Amino acid sequence: MLKAFANAFRSPDLRKKILFTLGILALFRLGSIIPVPNVNVGRVEFCNNQAQSGDQAGIYSLINLFSGGALLQLAIFALGIMPYITASIILQLLTVVIPRLEALKKEGQSGQTKITQYTRYLTLVLALLNSTAFVTLAANDQLFPGCSGILYATPTSDPDGYIFPIVVMILTMTAGTSIIMWMGELITERGVGNGMSVMIFTQVAAVIPTALWGLRLTKGWVTFLVVIAVGLVIMAAVVFVEQSQRRIPVQYAKRMVGTRVFGGTSTYIPIKVNQAGIIPVIFASSLLYLPTLYAQFRPNSPESEWITANFVRGDHPVYLITFFLLIIFFAYFYVSITFNPEEVSDNMKKYGGFIPGIRAGKPTENYLRHVLSRLMFPGSLYLGLIALIPSAAFILFEANQNFPFGGTSLLIIVGVGLDTVKQIESQLQQRNYEGFLR
């Protein structure tokens, strides 16, 4: 592997892409530690340490994870890539509902360009809403429960002059999201891998060394080594499942077009065990975030007390069962709208393809739906169990919600890492070099 990595740098074109990607990622991480104006950096650091020791950071664990810890530092790139992910998911779901978007999807590259443009607009809208919400929480001393003074100008400290600093903070965070989108597109166009995925990978991987070392300081070397060993075993299992797929053979009949013969080839339809990816975990985490947000805005209501007791720390049986069931539900829901057996069957029939032993048309559609449903059951259980790793660590090691080998972190690191390595391998093979994967 080291030899293949050296060969990647020997190729001038590939070396230029790798260095360009690393340069963009360095700027990305720099923007994740530079605070926006009106932030008391020392007070934020103190409140961060207090929140993590009291497990209050788990309230924003998903967004804070995708921002590489920048959210709870109120940095320029505090929102990270989360608004773009949310906008992409919303557009993907709306494509099934809105005929206009479905027609654009079928137009090919031109239609996809318009959908991408809509995604950018929606990202900016979501970034504006998210930044407004988090800056408002910070101004009202609700971002870190029980810890105040993280902003210099607030409605209580400066009733007359706090509006302008707050607006500047909101616009800065929104502008940071637009810069992140631009950087991601630059990596996709001129670098290595999918830009947005590589940036998510960077933010998630950036917090792991700090989290591991913090675990060593608080729990000692024995727990530290046990966590690393268990994490490596789980990561190997995740790699195995993410690479697992059911290959459905497809045979194409021979057909004459003029004097030429087409078809007569064999291929397969790959259906992954984890066909939904990480999307169900994001859906479930976002939905469970809503009651916590409600409890923050109405802290004195009886239902808020119940929500705080059952949902904030993430180790209550009500939270665990709800989270697990939501992941299974969203796994089935997302796959049902992204993989259409009827469309796949029609395309096969149109080009003269068929599954050996299965009649074309409706029988093929039913067969694909049957195979997909049987694969989704273990796939959804796998997603649910992986996502509960931080909660299990919280119970076993008394760790906080920033556990270094969390389920979401592992899924992102393994998925993006495999895709990026495969892209580098394919470019190496084009230049007659051996790839990373044997």
Separation of CA 3 from chain center: 31
Confidence of residue 121 (pLDDT cuts 50, 70, 90): very high
> What pLDDT is stored for residue 172 in this prediction?
92
Q: Is the dihedral of CA 184, 185, 189, 190 positive or negative?
A: negative
Identify the top-confidence range among 230-234, 242-246, 413-417: 242-246
> What pLDDT is stored for residue 261 in this prediction?
61
Confidence of residue 95 (pLDDT cuts 50, 70, 90): confident
- Is pLDDT of 435 > 70? no
Strand, helix or coil at 68? Answer: coil
Question: 213-239 pLDDT, tens per residue?
Answer: 777 777 778 877 887 887 788 888 888
Sequence-ordered list of residues with C-beta below 8 angstroms from that of 178, at least 6 positions apart, any chain: 123, 124, 127
Ranking 2-6, 170-174, 240-244, 418-422 by mean pLDDT, the lowest is: 2-6
Smallest Cα–Cα separation from 55: which of 320, 399, 414? 399
- What are the start and end residues of each CATH 1.10.3370.10 domain in the chain? 1-207, 244-403
Global confidence as pTM:
0.77
> What pLDDT is stored for residue 55 in this prediction?
47
First to last CA, the chain: 9
Topology of the domain covering 244-403: Preprotein translocase SecY subunit (1.10.3370)
Q: Is the dihedral of CA 317, 320, 323, 324 positive or negative?
A: negative
> What pLDDT is stored for residue 346 in this prediction?
85
Question: 256-303 pLDDT, tens per residue?
Answer: 666 666 656 778 888 888 888 878 887 787 777 777 767 766 667 776
Confidence of residue 56 (pLDDT cuts 50, 70, 90): very low
Q: Is the dihedral of CA 95, 100, 103, 107 positive or negative?
A: negative
Q: Which CATH class is domain 1-207?
A: mainly alpha
* b/e burial code for range 1-35 (CB count within 10 A of at least 16 → b): eeebeebbeebeebeebbebbeebbeebbebbeeb
Strand, helix or coil at 308? Answer: helix
Question: 361-410 pLDDT, tens per residue?
Answer: 888 888 888 888 888 888 888 888 888 776 666 556 555 555 556 667 77
